[in-house]
Amino acid sequence: MKFTSTIIGYPYIGENREWKKTVEAYWAKTLSEKQFEKSMKALRLANIQKQIDANVDVVTVGDFTFYDRVLDVAVMFGMVPKRFNWDGGTIHLETYYSIARGNEQALASEMTKWFNTNYHYIVPEYDGSNLRLYENIPLKAYIEARDELGILGKPTMIGPVTFYKLTKVMENINKQTYLFQLIDLYTQILNALVAEGVKWIQFEEPIFTTSISEKDMQQAKEVYKQLSKAVPQAQILLQTYFEAVEHYETVISLPVAGIGLDFVHGFQENITNLKRWGFPKEKILVAGVINGRNIWCTPLKRQFDFLTELKSLISSENLWIQPSCSLMHVPVTVASESKLSEEFKNNLAFADEKLQELNFLKNALREGSDYYKDIFKQNIDNIANLNHSRDRQLITVHEAIQQITEKDFSRKKPHKIRKELQQEILQLPLFPTTTIGSLPQTEEVKKTRAEMRKGKISREDYRTFIQSEIKKWIDYQEKLGLDVYVHGEFERTDMVEYFGEKLKGFAFTEKAWVVSYGSRCVKPPIIYGDVQWIEPMTIAETVYAQSLTTKPVKGMLTGPNTMLNWSFVRDDIPKKEVAYQIALAIRKEVQTLEREGIQIIQVDEPALREGLPLKVNKQTSYLEWAINAFKLATSEVADVTQIHTHMYYCEFNDFIEPIRALDTDVISIETSKSHGEIIEAFKNNDYENDIGLGVYDIHSPRIPQLNEMQAIIDESLKVLAIEQCWINPDCGLKTRKTAETLAALERMVDTAKIMRERYKQEVLNMIN
């Protein structure tokens, strides 16, 4: 068959978030395990049927999960950390979800970003145990699709090299022994699949698009050599995505039957390497030509022309086409959006629409472009109409960008002087306590907001309700004894969506959900035009909260890079320019808060590192403009105004210099699940600004123990000065229940009191 189509993966969330609802019902014990399994199977098969209906030639199976696909591989191999007291038998759902979410006895496994996306995976932990194959998930997926839908699918799983590189191997464990075990386990999986008659087996290896070393690539070569030797009949399709492969010649020499390359995000390098070094005639090339990470429609003629050019390099029998990565990073279907204009919708393509685009390109390649010239023309016109719209031609915005100078990127005085000035006003104790920003959003909060949006209650009634929630939580914070308060963000749905709704240049959807982590789903805004501040966005709630207390209340904003990286971004201008547009808008809000007497302003950037290119040689350029965007938003304030930020991820070790460059007065980080690695990052680094230690994991319902939090602080004080340390949860508390939040915060404040007493004498000695 000429020009075969396939996909790497499809969104498992469901058109109406059925997946999320099923998972959370099971957690709430309103759904039995049997009902849970039945609902999940129905959704899994429905997703496969979507591929069949869209005429995908090689249908992918095994891309479904109950929580996270990296966790699935770990559990499949019996990689259950000892703290979960697993008995070595069947791994039940309770254990599976405990690893992901923690329980009363054990901390959850670490969670971090999936490469440079907003998806979070559960980090596998290897402690030296003997591994074995407890369940062959790819085989089960293949058999289910065959028996239920009559198709011979392509099972997929995270590849051995990527899984090995993402695993946290405990100290004093022989990594080579672990790798040998993995090779054996993957061999068992391949043997079982081949025995069942599986034709194609997909291994996802995005690690090959990072700046992987030559030594690691040689190790990867040995892994695939061993697999090929053990199971020579296996037709492995090695999928890379998110960028161009780093060691092209080595990758194409691997003993696999096919290789997937990203010709969207890694276009220039991949095509250059392909033309320079060629491609093995005996292998299948799977070209990722449809953007799997953004929601804009594909420029069909451009991609058709590229594929036509590719035909001169690869025979049509050996050329497959697909999206650039799994479609899990985009929403399910534009068909669910009833409030967007037809003109705007014509420029959008979610997962289902990308399947249609894939089918269109395949048919055009098979039958010739003349049969489809009207569709090509309509696609070109749709894109041109959006590019030339007034929303993308705001002169005042473009002029403001041109007027930016170097002095816009720096505070007036160094941090040491600022801290003294701020402390004179704030009079904070040692180990000041605060929260990250959001507080529990109860069902009542969500219901009232929905009623306001549907017009069932007035905006004035809604405002009164929000004020009552703010007052309730200001009172809670007073009773708890926190030192710096927040208003709670009860008026906000999402930390990006809320601001985007109040800025020019953003569009919003009804059902365009994607998974961020676990069952946490987000509905990213679409940045389609020039971004501009219109009016104050946070003043009413923040000023009201401050009027209720003499303690400082933080103004809470989302940073420009997070708004950029957590949105679907226009692709007609460089991201740097979009980031600066957002930064100037946030700067206006910062200035407004300051004028209203707000002494502490937090501008969160949890996604700063997320935008970091996978290739080291591209990172400096990104960091330069991303850090400048943050500073553009925050540097205009007076020295006495304290700027905070928050970041949530676990790879700080190679990120100290960018953190220092931000020059925030306080940066809050996660220290609860990374088991000390982040603190190690500050060792031998002369970092002088203050740090908020995230001493407990908010993603778990368990209440932290005093000794756990004290241990984190004690470990931190090995590399940080006492006066640098703040104490806070590791992230916002929006998703937590009220009772568990109050209990956890009470213990956190008690921990701070214990630490103050413990170090009081030491501080007095320092003063004397």
pLDDT per residue over 531-554, tens digit each? 999 999 999 999 999 999 999 999
pLDDT classification of 737: cutoffs 50, 70, 90: very high
Q: Are 528 and 499 in contact (CB under 8 A)?
A: no
What residues make up the domain containing 313?
4-79+124-387
85 located within any domain: no
Instruction: Report the largest interatomic distance among the alpha carbons of the chain, rounded to a whole angstrom.
Output: 87
Report the mean per-residue pLDDT for the chain.
94
370 DSSP 8-state letter: G
Same structural domain, 610 and 757: yes
| Residues 162, 204 contacting (CB under 8 angstroms) | yes
Read off the amino acid at residue 158: I
pLDDT in tens, 365-390: 999 988 899 999 999 999 999 999 99
User: Residue 765 pLDDT > 70, yes or no?
Assistant: no
Q: Is the pLDDT of residue 498 over 50?
A: yes
Residue 702 pLDDT grade (very low, low, confident, very high; cuts 50, 70, 90): confident
Cα separation, 168 vs 650, in Å, equals 12
pLDDT in tens, 500-530: 999 999 999 999 999 999 999 999 999 999 9
pLDDT tens, residue by residue, 11-35: 999 999 999 999 999 999 999 999 9
Q: Does pLDDT of 677 surpass 70?
A: no
pLDDT > 60? residue 649 = no
Give the contacts of 60 (CB within 8 A, at least 6 positions apart): 6, 7, 8, 9, 10, 51, 153, 154, 155, 156, 202
Mark the binding-site residues, compressed into ranges: 17-20, 113, 118, 436-438, 489, 520-521, 566, 604, 610, 646, 670, 731
Write down which residue in 335, 354, 387 finishes a domain.
387
- Choosing from 387, 411, 431, the residue where a domain stops is 387
As for how many domains the chain has, the answer is 2
- Residue 604 falls inside a structural domain: yes
Same domain for 157 and 299?
yes
The CATH code of the domain that includes 20 is 3.20.20.210
pLDDT of res. 15: 95
| Residues annotated in a binding site for L-homocysteine | 436-438, 489, 604
Residue 638 shares a structural domain with residue 609: yes
Binding residues for L-methionine: 436-438, 489, 604
Same domain, 378 and 251: yes
Spatial neighbors of 42 by CB under 8 A, at least 6 apart, are none
429 and 523 inside one domain: yes
Residue 674: per-residue pLDDT: 60
User: Active-site residue numbers?
Assistant: 699
Q: Are residues 351 and 497 in the same domain?
A: no
pLDDT confidence of 673, banded at 50, 70, 90? low
Using one digit for the tens of pLDDT, what is the confidence trace for 562-611?
999 999 999 999 999 999 999 999 999 999 999 999 999 999 998 898 88
Q: Determine the pLDDT at residue 572.
A: 94
* Pair (20, 169) in one structural domain: yes
Sign of CA dihedral 190, 192, 194, 200: negative
| pLDDT, mean of residues 673-699 | 77
Say if residue 474 is in the same domain as residue 607.
Answer: yes
| Residue 654 predicted with pLDDT over 80 | no
Whether residues 383 and 407 fall in one domain:
no
- Smallest CA-to-CA distance from 223 within 238, 201, 242, 245 is with 238
Q: What is the pLDDT of residues 305-338, one digit of tens each?
A: 999 999 999 998 999 999 999 999 999 999 999 9
416 and 282 fall within a common domain: no
**Which pLDDT score is estimated for 768?**
47
Residue 93 lies in a domain: no
Q: Is the pLDDT of residue 686 over 80?
A: no
- Same domain assignment for residues 366 and 407: no
Domain boundary among 327, 357, 387: 387
Dist. CA 507–CA 685, nearest whole Å: 42
CA distances from 286 to 6, 258, 290 (A): 8, 7, 12
Q: What is the pTM of this model?
A: 0.90
Residue 768 forms part of a structural domain: no
Instruction: Based on the fold, state whether residues 592 and 663 are members of the same structural domain.
Output: yes
CA separation for the pair 631, 515 (Å, rounded): 30
